[in-house]
Structure 1
Amino acid sequence: MGVVVYKCINCGGPLAFKADTQNWTCDYCLSEFTEEDVKNFIDNEKADEEAESSEDALHQAKELDQEFNEKATGYTCSSCGAEIVTDDTTAATFCYYCHNPTIIPRQLEGEFRPEKVIPFKIDRKKAEELFVKWCKGKPLLPKFFTSNSQLEKLSGIYVPFWLFDSNTSGKVEGEARRVRTYTRGDTRYTETKYYKVMREGKAKFHDVPADGSKKMDDELMTILEPYDYNDLTDFSMSYLSGFFAEKYDMNQNDVYGRISSLLRENLGTLLQGTIHGYSSVSIHNTNVRLSGVKARYVLLPVWMFTYQFKGKTYVFAMNGQTGKIAGNLPISIGRASKWFGMISASVFAVLSVGGLFLW
């Protein structure tokens, strides 16, 4: 087997990918390497072993699968059943879904090796700063929501996604109305004309995302979009160093229904948007066909924070590339009562000063 990508070139220690510098650093010898450094080192090491033949590509693919099988470690939470993936140098201390500390390691199969990945652009420190800033504008949160002990549970996770490409063609048919009102003498008239309308067209969709995790909230993942797919790069285990990665439990066929509905709806909206000049339009029939559908398995970066409050788990998520934030946040009843009490007192004072307060 070739050189493992995420081992230090100088001392052999584990490398950790740093989102702020987009480089890999070694905590043992303090060396820092660019992606080009790592790739050049690997290429030089493999130069004597690889033959320039048509079999070389297949051999390299087998090596990558072997590396993934041997170095990717899976963890299954015994409490909620979540399955995550990381490299063999990362120690999991809790489940980022339910905070359960009992995690069982096992090996993975090569089919779960992604094709592409968008590396984290936002490091942990920046993610914490953005999260705290976001929470400051929400006075009803529990007092200790952003305490240091809670922020320690902020986890960098590569979430499994399927990116779909598709050719679409379709037609919409309906009825349009043009309404005109006019007055003659003392009589006001309303004239309504009806038209049959039809639009037909084609569109190509690229990189339409659908998360491949049953436990991930689809709506939450949708809110975090869009990602800049220009940053997609070939998957390497080195990007997992210092992060988690969830294993997909819905394949491309499982999420195709969601994608198909989305593409059909979008093309229908595009075609309907070309109908102008009428008072109103009612679409009676939409027929959209998909062809040349292709999907690729990728990992996208997400910072996740889960918080348990009064027996319920709340999830906060941040796009690890753009910093976009979404979440379902808890409300402290005590702070809410105090806050609304302050508002009531302010209103009471305003009414009293204005002479509107009545006994």
Structure 2
Amino acid sequence: MGVIVYKCINCGGPLAFKAESQNWTCDYCLSEFSEQEVSDFIVNEKAQAEAETSSAVLEEHHLKDQEFQEKAMGYTCQSCGAEIVTDDTTAATFCYYCHNPTIIPRRLEGEYRPEKVIPFKFNREKATELFVEWCKKKPLLSKQFTSTSELEKLSGIYVPFWLFDCHSDGKISGTATKVRTYTSGDTRYTETKYYRVLREGNAIFRDVPADGSKKMDDDLMSILEPYDYKDLTDFSMSYLSGYLAEKYDMDQNNVYGRVSGLIRDNMSSLLRESVRGYSTVNIEDSGIKMKNVGATYVLLPVWMFTYQFKGKTYMFAMNGQTGKIAGKLPISPGRAASWFSGVSAATFVALAIGGQFLW
């Protein structure tokens, strides 16, 4: 507990309680104050301190907004429409979706300033090394995929995400059975007992993610999870130096349906897993309610690499915090034919269909 020091209203010196007068006296200027005068002074001083603190917080937010508005630059790709964010010192040379070099800079509005960010944990050289090692384990890839000219297009991107918190109340009901088989004499019996099951519970969900980009593949972003949200820090434009970021084009309301479905599924699973000890369980009804829902706009680090092969664009992504890799990668017909030379034609056809997520 903090120590309270009563100060003289006139000179600021310490006050001492005098038992004989039941008042507070300053030994420096000899002023004397009643209990009410001291109490009123303390209340006013506390209110003033809180007002100054509140003013300082508002000023800090104002400076952050001003920094974002002055330094954040937006680039719109004229080919695919992707909107990229970076600082005013970074030169964007191509769109990481379609490789179009034509971009138009403009200032961004403060509403797009994120609240939090997880900074990149390793540089471009390390990301390239991890990517090449990963590709070596994919024997059907074209060798051109990891050529120096292609790897130069590897880009560090801060992807917009919404992190949701909420409280969830759930209830499920259904029927269950317990089956017992036993033998008596020469006869084998099966006994089935039927039960009515009911489960209710509540849970708190924290940091449920949903990317806020229409052009980002939601499945690809999901595969890159999880992130360690302990590394979330207050956003500053300095984190964008040397990197790009994508401006969200889906706000929290646009992605709420996706997050709501995920939370409801998880809540139902938690309740279902609590029904144990039965031979069979059939859930007939369930109800999940969500309340106290809140969302935080954050940027999460991703190393992105897109590759155009035979008229199609393939996307590779790496978690910029953990190094986890996923991608929709092209298959080289020549290498596939050689690799599957000893495999039946039917099996080859099944395995050579591209576009599968690999990780």
The verdict on a shared fold, with TM-score over 0.5 as the criterion, is: yes
Aligned to 1:90: 90
Residue 343 (structure 1) shift: 5.8
Q: 1:285-335: CA deviations, max 9, x gaps?
A: 111111111111000000010000001000100000000001111000111
SS state of the match for residue 182, structure 1? Answer: strand
Q: 1:200-231: CA deviations, max 9, x gaps?
A: 11111111111111111111111111111110
Matched, 1:111 2:108: no
Aligned residues: 294
Aligned to 1:328: 328
Distance (whole Å) between structure 2 residues aligned to residue 204 and residue 231 of structure 1 = 21
SS state of the match for residue 341, structure 2? Answer: helix
Aligned to 1:195: 195
The aligned runs of 1:10-29 (5 Å cut-off) are none
Aligned-residue Cα RMSD (Å) equals: 1.4
What TM-score comes out, normalization by structure 2 length? Answer: 0.80
SS state of the match for residue 145, structure 2? Answer: coil
Distance (whole Å) between structure 1 residues aligned to residue 205 and residue 52 of structure 2 = 37
| Deviation larger for 179-188 or 92-101 | 179-188
SS state of the match for residue 54, structure 1? Answer: helix
Q: 1:8-55: CA deviations, max 9, x gaps?
A: xxxxxxxxxxxxxxxxxxxxxxxxxxxxxxxxxxxxxxxxxxx95532
Aligned to 2:39: none
Residue 73 (structure 1) shift: 0.4
In the superposition, relative to structure 1, how do residues 143 and 53 fare at CA in structure 2: closer, same or farther (>3 Å)?
closer
Distance (whole Å) between structure 2 residues aligned to residue 229 and residue 327 of structure 1 = 23
SS state of the match for residue 97, structure 1? Answer: coil
Distance (whole Å) between structure 1 residues aligned to residue 98 and residue 307 of structure 2 = 8
Aligned to 1:310: 310
Aligned to 2:155: 155
Aligned to 1:22: none
In the superposition, relative to structure 1, how do residues 142 and 255 fare at CA in structure 2: closer, same or farther (>3 Å)?
same
SS state of the match for residue 298, structure 1? Answer: strand
In structure 1, give the amino acid aligned to 2:74: G
Which of these two proteins has the greater Rg computed from alpha carbons?
Answer: 2
Identity, % of aligned positions: 73
Matched, 1:249 2:249: yes
Distance (whole Å) between structure 2 residues aligned to residue 161 and residue 343 of structure 1 = 44
Distance (whole Å) between structure 1 residues aligned to residue 249 and residue 53 of structure 2 = 36
Residue 186 (structure 1) shift: 3.9
Distance (whole Å) between structure 2 residues aligned to residue 137 and residue 301 of structure 1 = 24
SS state of the match for residue 61, structure 1? Answer: helix
In structure 1, give the amino acid aligned to 2:190: T
List alignment gaps of at least 5 residues for structure 1: 1-50, 345-359
Aligned to 1:356: none
Distance (whole Å) between structure 1 residues aligned to residue 75 and residue 89 of structure 2 = 13
The aligned runs of 1:230-309 (5 Å cut-off) are 230-309=230-309
SS state of the match for residue 93, structure 2? Answer: coil
List alignment gaps of at least 5 residues for structure 2: 1-50, 345-359
Distance (whole Å) between structure 2 residues aligned to residue 117 and residue 287 of structure 1 = 35
Q: 1:167-190: CA deviations, max 9, x gaps?
A: 111111111111122233443332
SS state of the match for residue 242, structure 1? Answer: coil
